[in-house]
Each structure stands twice: as C-alpha cells, then as structure tokens.
C-alpha cells in the first residue's frame, strides 16, 4: 500500500476553508430565513464534514469507488437529517 503525502499548504487551505464555513454558519444564524435556517446549517455542516473526511482522513486519495461511496453517504445523511428535522418542525403546534 502506498502512502500519499500532501503538501502543508493543502492542509492550511482546508483549515482556512473550515474556519470560513464556521464563520458563515455563525453569520447565517443571525439572519432570519424561516425554516431554511436549519437547512443551510446542515448543508454547511455536510460540506465541512466532507472536507474533513476527504482531506484529513485521506479518502480523496484512495480508490474512486470509496470516494464516491463517502460522498453519496454524506448526501444521504444530509437528506435524512433534513427529513427528520422537517418532520419534527411540521408536527409542532405553534401558538
């Protein structure tokens, strides 16, 4: 098994992207988007999780099949979390 060595600038770039996405998440939380606040927060969290898995866990440099499985499973979990969140929101009684 060959080991993939990534340059340090890739790690710093991903780290800065994660910090920017965290700031965006915090900024969006102060904007009233109605029921889309949760959706946007989950989308940003999924993107951050994908960056961590693909680069810090080196899944990007494994087989293409494994990379596709990780991306598809991340999207599946995003839709599952969105469906459960919207089901909870839809059954609340607002008074």
Please give the residue that has the higher pLDDT: either 59 or 8.
Answer: 8
Please check whether residue 1 lies inside any domain of the structure.
Answer: no
Q: How far apart are CA 25 and CA 61, in angstroms?
A: 28
Please check whether residue 27 lies inside any domain of the structure.
Answer: yes
Please check whether residue 31 lies inside any domain of the structure.
Answer: yes
pLDDT tens sequence across 32-74: 988 888 889 989 998 998 898 888 877 777 788 887 887 898 8
Please check whether residue 41 lies inside any domain of the structure.
Answer: yes
- How many domains does the chain fold into? 1
Please check whether residue 30 lies inside any domain of the structure.
Answer: yes
Please check whether residue 95 lies inside any domain of the structure.
Answer: no
Please check whether residue 3 lies inside any domain of the structure.
Answer: no
Radius of gyration, CA atoms only, the chain: 17
Domain span at 28: 8-90
Tell me if residue 58 falls in helix, strand or coil: coil
Please check whether residue 62 lies inside any domain of the structure.
Answer: yes
Crossing angle, helix 36-51 and helix 64-90, to 10 degrees? 160
Mean pLDDT of 4-21: 89
């Amino acid at each position: 098994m060959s080991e993939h060595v990534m340059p340090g600038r890739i790690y710093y770039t991903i780290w800065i992207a994660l910090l920017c996405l965290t700031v965006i998440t915090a900024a969006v939380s102060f904007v009233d988007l109605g029921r889309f606040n949760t959706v946007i927060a989950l989308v940003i969290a999924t993107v951050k999780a994908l960056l961590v898995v693909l680069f810090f866990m080196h899944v990007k440099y494994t087989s293409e099949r494994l990379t596709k499985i990780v991306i598809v499973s991340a999207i599946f979990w995003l839709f599952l979390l969105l469906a459960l969140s919207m089901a909870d929101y839809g059954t609340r009684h607002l008074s």
